[in-house]
Amino acid sequence: MGSSGQTLLDRQRLQVPYPNGRVIVLDDDHNTFQHVVDVLVRHLPGMTPDRAWDLAHRIDGEGAAEVWSGPLEQAELYHQQLGAEGLTMAPLERC
């Protein structure tokens, strides 16, 4: 196999997308809207209070909401941080 075989293998590796994850918060009976908003704003990059309030209402009304999606490694971190703050989390979803 000379160098052309290795080049093809390298090209195939580059085409494999990095896995993404979805962070989903579930509704519960013990977190207040304000706590959910504060936690989302504190831990999720670019999260505004207005967006966090919209998500908190969606969590309450629909039972769950995706609050962040992106590279799996970051999703794992945010999932862990939100759970550590007491939010009820769905299992991390790969997408």
pLDDT digits (tens, 9 = 90+) for 23-57: 999 999 999 999 999 999 999 999 999 999 999 99
pTM attached to this predicted model: 0.83
For the stretch 1-26, pLDDT in tens is 555 556 666 666 667 788 999 999 99
Residue-range domain boundaries for the chain: 19-94
H/E stretch holding 71: strand 64-71
Q: Using DSSP, state whether 19 is helix, strand or coil.
A: coil
Reported CATH class of domain 19-94:
alpha beta
Tokens for 21? 């994850």
Instruction: Indicate the SS3 state at residue 8.
Output: helix
Distance CA(23)–CA(8), nearest Å, equals 35
* Cα gap 23→75, rounded to integer Å: 6
Following DSSP, what letter does each residue of 31-63 receive, concatenated? Answer: --HHHHHHHHHHHSTT--HHHHHHHHHHHHHHS
Identify residue 75 by its one-letter amino acid code: A
